[in-house]
A = this chain, B = another copy of it.
Amino acid sequence: MSEPTGVDGVSPDATRADESAVAEHSLSRRGFVRMLGWGGAGATVALGGRAAVDAIAEQSAPSPEELARAAAFAFETATIESGHQPGIATPQQAHASFIAFDLDASLTASRIKALLQILTDDSARLMTGTAPIADQEPEMAGDPAGLTVTMGYGPGLVDRVNPAAKPSWLKPLPGYKIDKLEDRWSGGDFLLQICADDPITLAHARRVLLKDARAFTTVRWVQDGFLGARGARVTGTTMRNLFGQLDGTVNPRTSEDLGQVVWIGSDSGESAWLHGGSSLVIRRISMDLERWDEVDRPGREASIGRRLDSGAPLTGTNEHDAPDFEARTPQGFHVIGPAAHIRRARGDGAERILRRPYNYDTALSGAAGSGAQVNDSGLIFAAYQANPEKQFAPMQARLAEADLLNTWTTPIGSAVFAIPGLGELGEIPGKALFE
C-alpha cells in the first residue's frame, strides 16, 4: 500500500503561527490514512498545492466529513528534532502548564537520575501517543494533540548532581526595581513545561508526570496558561495578550536565527550536557487591566510603539514592518518614543530571545463594587535564549529602567532553568550531566 505523499501540504499547521523555520507538528502518515479512511490499497493520496485539489477530485468520494476527519489533530505528535528538547522551537500549542518542583532534601544524584529516567520514559510515551506502563487511563494517552514535555534543571538540581558542570548563569536573575516577586511564583529545582493543543490531553499528561514525581519532590508552583485555540485563526496570526496587543511579532524564525539566539552550541564553552540545549527564564507578569482601561488608544499605542489593530509599528503600516526608530514628528519628537516598549526591548538590537509566553486569567470571586478588580490576569512570560545573562538580563534591565508598559505590569514571579540538550527521545535530557 502506497503511503500518502506531500501530507505537509495540508498540515493543520497551516493555521499555526508563522514561524516558518520552526519545527512543525508532523501529521503522522499512518495516522492520517487511518483517520482519513479513504487512501486505500494502491491509492496515492497527493495532498499538496494544486495536486491536492486534483487528488481530491479524482478520489472516489471523499466527503466534507472525511476531510474534516483528516484535519482532526488529536492524534498528531510533535516533531522531535535531533539534539534539542521539544517544546522550544515547536510552534506554540494552545495550552501550557509550567510546574516547578523542589527536590526532597534526601535525594541523591543517583535517585535524581532515576526520577528523571521515569519522567523521560513516560514523557516519551505520552508525546508519541502511547500509554505509559502505569497509566491508569491508557485511552487518554492516545490523543497526544501535539504534546511536548520539556525539562528544565534549576540551580538546586545541578548543584546536587554535578556542581562543576553548572553554567555561571544558572542562578536567579538580579533584582529589578520593578519586581515584586513572590516566593510562590519563583525559583525551583526542576521544571516541567507541558504543552498541548488539547486541554484534556494536557490534564492527563500532567497527572501522569505529577504522580511520577511526587515521591521525590514537592510541587513549588504551577502556572497554567493559554493562547488562542488551535485552528481558530488563519496562518500567521500573532496572538493577542489580554491588553489586546499582538504579542510575539518579533521572534527568531529561521534555523539560523534559532542557532544564534536559542541553542547552546558545542563551541559555546558550556558543558557538554548543555549542547543543543538552552536556558529558560519564566517571569510571571501581572497585568493591571483596571488601570489599563483608563488609558486611551493613542496612549496605549504610544506605550508599546505599535498600533493596536494591526500590530504595525507606529512608523509603519503592516505588523512585520521594521520599526523606524529614527522617525520624528513634525515637532521633532520621536514617533516611537524614548520609553516605548519596543524601543526599550530592542536596545541596539544585540540581544535577542525566543519568546514563548502564555496568558493567564482568573475571574475573581468576591469582587464587588464599580471599582473592583474583576480578573487576576497577566502573562507567563517564557523566554528561551542561549545565555540569559547576555541576552535576557540586559534587555530586562533596560525595560526595568524605563518602559511605559511598566505602568500597568508587575513581575511577581521569576525563575531560571537550564534546558539540557537531548540525545534522542527516551534518553534523559543532558545525560552527560550524570556521567
Give residues in A with beta carbon < 8 Å to B.
Answer: 9-10, 12, 14-15, 35, 47-50, 52-54, 56-57, 61-65, 67-69, 71-74, 94-95, 97, 99, 104, 136-137, 139-140, 143, 145, 184, 197-201, 203-204, 206-207, 210-211, 214-215, 217-222, 224, 226-235, 239-240, 242-244, 289, 292-293, 308-309, 359, 361-370, 372, 374-375, 377
Contact = CB atoms under 8 A, between A and B. Distances in A.
A156 to B, nearest CB: 15
Given A9-B64, A72-B234, A244-B139, A214 B368 contact: yes
Nearest to A244: B137
Contacts of A145: 229, 232
B139 A240 contact: yes
A367 B368 CA distance: 32
B365 A219 contact: yes
Contact of A65 (B14, B215, B365): B14
Nearest to A360: B203
A25 to B, nearest CB: 12
Contacts of A140: 240, 244
A64 B363 contact: no
A362 B203 CA distance: 9
A222 B376 CA distance: 13
Given A197-B229, A365-B184, A14 B57 contact: no
A365 B220 contact: yes
Task: Tell me how many chains of this kind the complex includes.
Answer: 2
Given A56-B57, A368-B217, A235 B69 contact: yes
Nearest to A68: B14
Given A200-B227, A219-B365, A52 B64 contact: yes
Contacts of A184: 365
Given A145-B232, A198-B228, 12 more contacts: A10-B67, A14-B65, A14-B68, A48-B64, A52-B63, A72-B232, A73-B229, A145-B229, A200-B242, A218-B366, A219-B367, A224-B362
Given A54-B57, A57-B53, A229-B145, A69 B365 contact: no
A219 B363 contact: yes
B233 A230 contact: no
A230 B97 CA distance: 19
A211 B289 CA distance: 11
B219 A368 contact: yes
B374 A211 contact: yes
11 contacts: A14-B68, A15-B72, A47-B64, A140-B240, A199-B226, A203-B377, A214-B370, A214-B372, A217-B368, A218-B366, A219-B365
B197 A68 contact: no
A129 to B, nearest CB: 13
A136 B53 contact: no
A198 B35 contact: no
Contacts of A50: 61, 63
A273 to B, nearest CB: 27
Contacts of A242: 200, 203-204, 207
A14 B35 CA distance: 14
A231 B71 contact: yes
A373 B207 CA distance: 10
Contacts of A361: 203, 206
Contact of A214 (B53, B206, B367): B367
A74 B228 CA distance: 9
A367 B229 contact: no
